[in-house]
Amino acid sequence: MDVLLIGGGLAGLAAALDLTQRGYQVGLVERKQYPFHRVCGEYVSNEVLPYLRRLGADPAPLGPAAISQFLLSAPGGRTLTSALDLGGFGVSRYRLDDFLYRLALKRGVGMYVPATVADVAFEAATDRHLVTLADGRQLTARLVLGAYGKRANLDRQLQRPFFQQRSPYLGVKYHLRLPGFPRDLIALHNFADGYAGISAIEDDKLCFCYLTTRANLRAHGSIPALEQRVLAQNPHLRQILAEAEFLYPQPEVINEISFAPKQPVEQHVLMCGDAAGLITPLCGNGMAMALHGAALASAAGVGFLSGQISRAQLEAGYARTWRRHFGRRLGVGRAVQGLFGRPVLSEAVVGSLRHWPGGVRALMRQTHGQPF
């Protein structure tokens, strides 16, 4: 085949649609059977809409929530608000990923689902990749894109440095209903050693997702105890926890979330989405970055697949382009995260920024892109 995508999240599915639309033979490997939930804030900046429409994948039929307002609270409850310049939409990954998967199937993408990649080897003599699945099947491709998310065993096999470092972070996600919550609002609420986001998705549901540390969880023994003893110290979170209808009994949880810098190319594999770099959830733009990364990787791959550039030119050019588009965003995201999760500092920052709405909007622009 021409291209193999490893990972069927937003980046993998969008790149599969993009490259198939350009006339290439594309395969995709995903370890889970669609549809399924992912730990994700489920807010997408509107910067992605032109690209999705070019792919024939406008999300409008999914009934997404239109989001135009932003609220941030400090642990004690003090808030600041701002309009979102571009706005965004809210839709569950359960529905959006399945929608893109079914489009890709319909358009002829070869799907290996559910399946797990055990090994990726580059054969210099043939200038091709040999990808071995856990069940022993072997696939060959001229180009491989890694779009398998935040952390996977493949990172160990590729000897990526961040994989050797323990990360203190874990993420927790619920879907819920909360009558009266504005459907045009995304709210971020701080608490000790963490922060939570809540915003509307389809079908009158809300996504409630928070990031905290393993140490915070260990100190309280369980997720329910952590929520009651720590999150609920913020009055906005206390209201959510007390009044919301939680739509599934156990939350989705992911461990070892790393915000450490990553390389966009590893052993001739082009990385995109969270596999290339993960922006802090506080900035609320990871889904848009994943889709934009798919667009960049697909465009770069065309030059190589059509014989216009060499593999070395492909890899160097893609790495430069990726860093130009996302390097500053990720750096700003890490800096912003350092301002929150600590009660005294969070209170000071919210107290200062609430009187400087232009500064809030300027900061948000640093973590968002332009329509593409």
- DSSP letters of 232-282? GGSHHHHHHHHH-EESSSS-EEEEEE--S---SEETTEEE-GGGT----GG
Is the pLDDT confidence value at 23 over 90? yes
Tell me, what's the pLDDT at 342? 67
Give 64's Cβ-side CA count (13 Å radius): 24
Q: List phi, psi (to 5°) of 254.
A: -130, 140
8 A C-beta contact, residue 183 and residue 230: no
Distances (CA, A) of 224 to 238, 249, 256: 12, 11, 20
The SS3 of residue 144 is strand
Q: β-pairing, 245-246 with 169-177?
A: antiparallel
When pLDDT is cut at 50, 70 and 90, the band that residue 282 belongs to is: low
Euclidean distance between CA atoms 2 and 145, whole angstroms: 11
Distances (CA, A) of 331 to 133, 259, 277, 281, 307: 35, 10, 11, 13, 35
The SS3 of residue 327 is helix
Euclidean distance between CA atoms 102 and 64, whole angstroms: 18
Beta bridge partners of 69: 83, 185
Q: Does the reported pTM lie above 0.85?
A: yes
When pLDDT is cut at 50, 70 and 90, the band that residue 161 belongs to is: confident
Is the pLDDT confidence value at 348 over 70? no
Within 10 angstroms of residue 147's Cβ, the number of other Cβ atoms is 32
Using alpha carbons only, what angle is made at residue 149 by residues 146 and 152, rounded to the nearest 5 degrees?
Answer: 85
Tell me, what's the pLDDT at 22? 98
Tell me, what's the pLDDT at 224? 96
Euclidean distance between CA atoms 103 and 57, whole angstroms: 8
Is the pLDDT confidence value at 338 over 80? no
When pLDDT is cut at 50, 70 and 90, the band that residue 166 belongs to is: confident
pLDDT above 90 covers a percentage of the chain that reads 77
Instruction: Name all domains of the chain by residue range, CATH numbers in brackets.
Output: 3-366 (3.50.50.60)
pLDDT tens string 135-154: 999 999 999 999 998 888 88
Is the pLDDT confidence value at 345 over 70? no
DSSP label at residue 111: E
Which of 177-186, 189-198, 255-264 is least confident? 255-264
The stretch 24-30 carries a mean pLDDT of 98
The stretch 327-355 carries a mean pLDDT of 70
pLDDT tens string 214-252: 999 999 999 999 999 999 999 999 999 999 999 988 999
When pLDDT is cut at 50, 70 and 90, the band that residue 258 belongs to is: confident
The two three-digit tokens of residue 36, written as one number:
């399924």
Tell me, what's the pLDDT at 369? 81
Is the pLDDT confidence value at 127 over 90? yes
Higher-pLDDT residue of 340 and 91 is 91
Euclidean distance between CA atoms 179 and 117, whole angstroms: 43
Average pLDDT of the chain to the nearest whole number: 92
pLDDT tens string 67-124: 999 999 999 999 999 899 899 999 999 999 999 999 999 999 999 999 999 999 999 9
Give 310's Cβ-side CA count (13 Å radius): 4
Tell me, what's the pLDDT at 314? 98
